[in-house]
Structure 1
């Protein structure tokens, strides 16, 4: 079953690193992330997901999610490995298609591929890519990558790439005809309708759009899927920050402090929108101000963050499951100044005391 029809709740881990060299070396951070993923695998979490960002300490320790997921693949057995998301605008499609196919083979067919447009002007500038081309690049490159996985004597004549004839790409993915494809969507109806028209799955973040707005966009997505002849059955990843402790008071106090550390990194990255506006990203120039005003209390009141002891977290997860039936929840447990020990504790509490009850309640 899927988000199209409901079904048992699946919970995984989401990683958007917010750490820099002054706090921790990348070498140590990767070792700790892999250890977290090994524990999540043992405790029957559904997936682990890694974002792609560059240069900023908000995400910058994950410039190549395929490489890090490849390491995780060899230390886990069951969890799905999710790019959440890679940015085709910053990667040549032949190279990206091949890297993703290698990861699918290394993981014995556990790859879910999430693609996103990207949104930080500083990253587009660094790669010499025009911000206004982001949607067109996403659409062309995702289609191109899917065809590279499946076609022989491949040819492509598009706006950005002219390729071929090419022999069959090696290696082919384990999952045939291709790994499941997800599209990261936030507030743009065009992204939801384009994903729906191609039958792609979705990745969303309620913190970016209100639940009401997201519900409207998901209704549009479902309607478009039906109009284009696709099955109503699809997969939906919904991402949240989460802090889980032994008791509610401790969780709230610590989460507030850690979220402040997270927000300081977020604001620095969002600052790349200063003096920049784009018709393709309406309102993004105001993100920095909006993030600066938002508190953990605001997020908790809107069900846009998960904080508490085991009973509170269990209740919140059930409530979110009712909002998005059948969704796969991606929890970011390692954010801001959250320590490795705190994140490991959260994985254990969730895996041992929360997830079994949620499955039994379905």
Structure 2
């Protein structure tokens, strides 16, 4: 089992200046020096929640020159919002700055407002656009040219510079939990980045099985890679950990209420969540917290977390992407990296 760090930033307005990125930079330096596998940064637009990360290639470039060993990953590039040429160019720069440590997970996008950046890409066709983009980025990464129409309306062909260090770009596909996305990733020879916000371990196990079967059918003995994002904080005592994460995790869940509440409660699909009173929302968030703390995160002591890691390893997960900046105070979150490293060492 590999362990990486995942960032999303609960509040991008909380601290001014360079301090907003301190937990990122200090955490990644620790991970780089202690054998963690990767750092993932997302693409998030127009909202304080996650808004520290509007462009993972920009952040990835900074991390590339601040580290020596750790893999620099986009988690994720929202493919329909960008030209494949720009994605390939920017990540080739990151690949060069890092000495060949760049990897990209592609996503189709989920928020319609983000598509104001899309230069005409349709929200409805976003999944097809994502797959077309992956194909073009891979072609460009290999040094091949692609046909385009220039500003004068004339056909021409272009290739990217600088040439990347790696001969092939390691590609992932981000899935919120649809089994078809797992199958597409397997057929496309891409890793899968997923999470437990909309699925439990039993459901994930079946999707990983479908992914591995498709990968073997299409690519022989290649079985792919699966990374699972988990909210993470470890400490010496379970109750201490619960007290530390309760408020920030509840705030996180409340900010994503519509996305997560149906997956961890018995609210029916036709129920209007917007009709709920504030106290009812708080009640459902509290129930969701217990589910995430006990079953869908990496919380508690090292020994307790090891049980969760064993369960994930048992269903075929290769890597845990540990989300550490979901609202826990900066120094406290960074101190939690020490027991996380102890856990990592148990599985090396």
Tell me, yes or no, whether TM beats 0.5. yes
CA distance in structure 1 between the partners assigned to 2:339 and 2:175 by the alignment: 30
* Counterpart pick for 2:3 among 8, 11, 15: 11
What displacement does 1:143 show?
0.6
Query: Are residues 1:51 and 2:42 paired?
Result: yes
Q: How big is each residue's C-alpha offset from its partner over 1:2-47, in whole Å with a ceiling of 9 and x where there is no partner? A: xxxxxxx1101000111132x2235321233111100111121111
Query: Are residues 1:173 and 2:164 paired?
Result: yes
CA distance in structure 2 between the partners assigned to 1:49 and 1:346 by the alignment: 18
Q: Which residue of 1 aligns with 2:293?
A: 300
Q: In structure 2, do the counterparts of structure 1 residues 318 and 211 end up closer, same or farther at CA, with 3 Å as the change threshold?
A: closer
> Secondary structure at 2:125's aligned position in 1?
helix
Query: Are residues 1:318 and 2:310 paired?
Result: yes
Query: Are residues 1:355 and 2:348 paired?
Result: no
* Counterpart pick for 1:104 among 77, 88, 95: 95
After superposition, residues 205-244 of structure 1 pair within 5 angstroms as: 205-244=195-234
CA distance in structure 1 between the partners assigned to 2:84 and 2:33 by the alignment: 34
Whether the 8 Å CA contact 1:50–1:84 is kept in 2: the answer is yes
User: Could you state the TM-score of these two structures normalised by the residue count of structure 1?
Assistant: 0.83
> Secondary structure at 2:219's aligned position in 1?
coil
* Counterpart pick for 1:149 among 122, 141, 155: 141
CA distance in structure 2 between the partners assigned to 1:113 and 1:123 by the alignment: 19
CA-atom RMSD in angstroms: 2.7
Q: In structure 2, do the counterparts of structure 1 residues 287 and 90 end up closer, same or farther at CA, with 3 Å as the change threshold?
A: farther
CA distance in structure 1 between the partners assigned to 2:315 and 2:46 by the alignment: 35
Q: How big is each residue's C-alpha offset from its partner over 1:310-341, in whole Å with a ceiling of 9 and x where there is no partner? A: 3222333233222335x1110011102x1110
Whether the 8 Å CA contact 2:250–2:285 is kept in 1: the answer is no
> Secondary structure at 2:126's aligned position in 1?
helix
Query: Are residues 1:335 and 2:329 paired?
Result: no
> Secondary structure at 1:295's aligned position in 2?
helix
Q: In structure 2, do the counterparts of structure 1 residues 136 and 294 end up closer, same or farther at CA, with 3 Å as the change threshold?
A: farther
Question: How many residue pairs were aligned?
Answer: 329
User: Could you state the TM-score of these two structures normalised by the residue count of structure 2?
Assistant: 0.86
Whether the 8 Å CA contact 1:51–1:65 is kept in 2: the answer is yes
After superposition, residues 254-273 of structure 1 pair within 5 angstroms as: 254-267=244-257
CA distance in structure 1 between the partners assigned to 2:273 and 2:229 by the alignment: 18
Q: In structure 2, do the counterparts of structure 1 residues 151 and 126 end up closer, same or farther at CA, with 3 Å as the change threshold?
A: closer
Q: Which runs of 5+ in 1 are unaligned?
A: 1-8, 272-282
What displacement does 1:234 show?
1.4
CA distance in structure 2 between the partners assigned to 1:71 and 1:285 by the alignment: 45
> Secondary structure at 2:3's aligned position in 1?
strand
Q: Which residue of 1 aligns with 2:242?
A: 252
Which one has more relative contact order, counting CA pairs under 8 Å at least 6 apart?
A: 1
After superposition, residues 63-78 of structure 1 pair within 5 angstroms as: 63-78=54-69
CA distance in structure 2 between the partners assigned to 1:202 and 1:62 by the alignment: 21
Whether the 8 Å CA contact 1:120–1:270 is kept in 2: the answer is no
Q: Which runs of 5+ in 2 are unaligned?
A: 261-268
> Secondary structure at 2:124's aligned position in 1?
helix
